[in-house]
Amino acid sequence: MKILVTGGSGYIGSHTCVELIDQGYEPIIVDNLCNSKEVVTDRIKEISGKRPKFYLGDIRNQTILEKIFNENEIDSVIHFAGLKAVGESVTKPLEYYDNNIYGSLVLLKAMKKANVKKIIFSSSATVYGTQPIIPYVETMQTGEPTQPYGRSKLFIEKILQDLFKAEKNWSITLLRYFNPVGAHSSGLIGEDPQGIPNNLMPYITQVAIGKRPSLAVFGNDYNTPDGTCVRDYIHVMDLAKGHVAALNNNNANNIQIFNLGSGKGTSVLEVISAFETVFGKKLPWHFAPRREGDLPAYWANADKAKQIMGWQTKLQLEDMVKDSWNWQRNNPQGFV
């Protein structure tokens, strides 16, 4: 079964392609490589034995999408493609709305034209906004995200929900996941941010490898046990398995929403401590001012995913740290 994976050369997309191949699916990647590299397909082949078919293209280009659908019997789409840095979105809102929202509209139009009406959307816990109740559960009303990245994800969810109201023959799954970290245990693929990392774990590993002098911990006065932000960290391979579980469950004509998270909150300082234990020495780090758009704490209630899809996380923080470090140590300059 052929699955179109938009943004399949990216961090989560590449790990999901590995899992898709392992489960007998045939992923087909379309990616504009704005924050990834084509060599990822070679690494996927090295891990899985199969290289996914790759199309260089932007999902905002309807011509390339129609070409892909015409040349392949696509059954379903897993939609990752989009800009993803929370902080950057605050300074570049138009780029985020154009890429994420307009790109999704073009994709949905191309799917409809090709009569491919199964989609799994890579959403985010940021759609809950600033909810006062933790953990987040899918029955909550979505809130007002504090930054354009989260708003773009929420707008796309609304578009998909409106689409299903109008056309009941679509099968749509919205996956709201929390903070992906880690890498494939082989060390062949992992998170390779362009420029200064926006996410905690690659920043830590780049400091550990000597690429950056010190880790900035943004804020130490939040209303949390140690004053630093608390997040629900999920290993990227658990997340990849969640997408395959959603694919296996995405057959009926309906729309479903699932949280993908560990159900546990971990502070920034706790992540640093875990890494120092694995690394065997202290990391240089310092407190910095709060980042605009950051929330004090949130984590998932992922019971629904377990009950309906049979999915739950299996890898722990130690695994996330070890695999992140293994990737960085084996690829000090990322993908080259």
Strand, helix or coil for residue 299: coil
> E strand or H helix at 279, and its extent?
helix 268-279
Distances (CA, A) of 275 to 3, 118, 297, 319: 36, 39, 20, 10
**Number of C-beta neighbours around residue 270 at 10 A:** 16
Which residue in 11, 97, 136, 149 is the catalytic one? 149
Helices (H) and strands (E) in the chain, counts: 12, 13
C-beta separation of 298 from 128 below 8 A: yes
**Number of C-beta neighbours around residue 258 at 10 A:** 25
Give the CA count within 13 Å in the CB-facing half-sphere of 80: 28
Distances (CA, A) of 65 to 69, 104, 173, 311: 6, 12, 21, 31
Pairing type for strands 266-267 and 230-231 reads antiparallel
Indicate if 149 belongs to the active site: yes
**Tokens, residue 121:** 């959307």
Which residues have a Cβ under 8 Å from the Cβ of 281 and sit 6 or more positions away? Answer: none
The DSSP bridge partners found for residue 216 are: 286
| Helix segments in 175-251, DSSP class H | 200-208, 236-249
Residue holding tokens 């377990």? Answer: 306
| CB < 8 Å & 24+ apart, contacts of 271-274 | 271/200, 271/201, 271/204, 271/233, 271/317, 271/321, 272/204, 272/215, 272/217, 274/317, 274/318, 274/321
**Tokens, residue 82:** 């989009």
Dist CA 319 CA 314 (whole Å): 10
Choose among 67, 72, 34: nearest CA to 53. Answer: 72
Catalytic residues: 149
